[in-house]
Amino acid sequence: MTEIEAFQARRTAERPSGPAYWLITKNAFGRIEVLTLDCRQTLPVFSHEEEAEMFLRLGGMDDGWRVSESGIGELVSVLYGPCAGVEEVALDPLPEMVAERIVGLVSQARECFIELILARKPLGLWERRQRSGVGLISTPRPT
């Protein structure tokens, strides 16, 4: 086994099982700070490491911010811990969206996002309508 293969095997074994997400963080005075948007109301979450790196690069954030991988459990802990005050989660936002104040187009309510990642499956149209109360009619759920 080559040194590169050994490194890749170790890295694969260390990765959390299940989907991975990426956050933008920095170490500030010995504490980990997580980047939020819109006056701490929105948490940007990235589905690919490259998306998060592009956000950093295009957003001109070079003062200690870095991309950090998170598993589902860690992300939920962040949302209930240091980011408990955020109202929305923005999935793969672009810096231009933040500047133009349209990040809401890729945002979801915090609690709905938590439910979705814990279930690890998207809600169907019926469930989304049932939860939001939009477009419901008084007929039984289709089977």
Tens of pLDDT, residues 50-88:
999 999 999 888 789 999 999 999 999 999 999 999 999
**For 64, how many CA atoms within 13 A lie in the half-sphere containing its CB?**
11
Looking at mean pLDDT, say which of 14-18, 23-27, 55-59 comes out highest: 23-27
Q: What DSSP assignment string belongs to 73-133? A: HHHHHHHHTTTTT--EEEES--HHHHHTT-GGGGEEEHHHHHHHHHHTSPPPHHHHHHHHT
Please give the model's pTM, rounded to 2 decimal places: 0.69
Tens of pLDDT, residues 79-135:
999 999 999 999 999 988 988 888 888 999 999 999 999 987 444 554 555 555 544
